[in-house]
Amino acid sequence: MNWGIVGLGKIANKFCDTLSFLKNEGENLVAVASRDLDKAKEFGDKYKAEKAYGSYSDLFQDEDVDSVYISTPNNLHYQEIKEALLKGKNVLSEKPITLKVEDTRELYEIAEEKGLFLMEAYWVYFLPGAFKLREIYGEIGEIEEIELSYGFYSEGKRRERKFLSSLGGGALLDIGIYNLGIMAMLGLENPMILGTKVMMNEYGTDKWSETKLLYNERTKVTTVNAIGEDIDRICTIKGEKGSIYIPDFQFLTSFSTTIQGETKAYSFPLDYNGFEYEIRHVSQCVKEKRTSSPLFTSRLSLDICRTLYRIRTLWNMKFQGVDND
């Protein structure tokens, strides 16, 4: 499939590196776009893109591009996805797909109307470890409790970019979405928010939070996320019959189960860097003329978007230029 890339930051480098690995499978980087044409040309040369644009709109109009990967700041996703769909492009958009539930719903409706594919880029969902987790988690019985945490340190311009309110910043939307994605993997949706605590930064967004959720009136979840503090990406899932321990739930290359005192370890080596599974899935869905993923469905995407919005509403955290005053 012929790809176009919009937004040329760190994550776009990983995506394009993966496309190079998948070139023999028919994945081609046709065009890249940045608001800085020189940056686009430099990036395009690095990954051997055929074209470089200094305008996102110009890339969306390129007839050689089948699908667009959008990795711009959070506040730009809605408008860029909409424009890409209206120009006839399939879209894979970085998380969070939008900042508001109604915007997310509208985009999936447009994709359906246009017969185009749209998916939020929750790449972890397509890892071999994720498939195995979904296959075996029932072995521990009804899930009673989940605890998970994720935090990293950021400084300088990267810190500002992660936190700016005008960009839809903060730890919740940047990495808390990975925490919520684990619940989606386990078939858990539409939680009740039992309580939430937050520490805000000088930009008016969250730098640390702890939220307690209840799924299906049974499963209690405690999720912690932070930017500015190194916290291991650990997840523990406790059920009636046993438990699952994931030492790094973002990459999910291993986990272990303990059932009736017996521990079993699982390991999942990657073909490359992990993005390859998501890219293959998107290409297959486009080939099958799907408008959404049968695995990471539009329903799951909307559910996570809704939960993120409800949590930040409880904090009274509004994004400049996005939320009504």
Are the C-beta atoms of 65 and 90 separated by less than 8 Å? Answer: no
Are the C-beta atoms of 72 and 92 separated by less than 8 Å? Answer: no
Active-site residue, 207 included? no
Cα dihedral 50, 52, 53, 56 sign? positive
- Report the relative pairing of strands 28-33 and 2-6 from DSSP bridges: parallel
Measured CA to CA, the distance from residue 178 to residue 249 in angstroms comes to: 8
Question: Does a cis peptide bond (omega within 30 degrees of 0) precede residue 294?
Answer: no
Question: Does a cis peptide bond (omega within 30 degrees of 0) precede residue 191?
Answer: no
User: Which of 95, 100, 162, 238 is the catalytic position?
Assistant: 95
Extract the tokens encoding 212: 């307690």
Are the C-beta atoms of 187 and 239 separated by less than 8 Å? Answer: no
Extract the tokens encoding 279: 């890219």
Please, what is the angle between helix 101-114 and helix 298-314, to 10°? 160
Extract the tokens encoding 305: 């978007």
- Using the 8-state DSSP alphabet, how is residue 174 labeled? I
| Interacting residues of 249 by C-beta distance below 8 A, sequence separation 6+ | 124, 148, 150, 178, 179, 182, 233, 234, 235
197, amino acid identity: K
List, in sequence order, every residue forming a beta bridge with 28; answer none if it has no partner.
2
Name the nearest CA neighbour of 312 among 161, 110, 124, 177.
Answer: 177
A 10 A CB-CB count for 28 gives 17
Are the C-beta atoms of 15 and 275 separated by less than 8 Å? Answer: yes
Give catalytic residue positions.
95
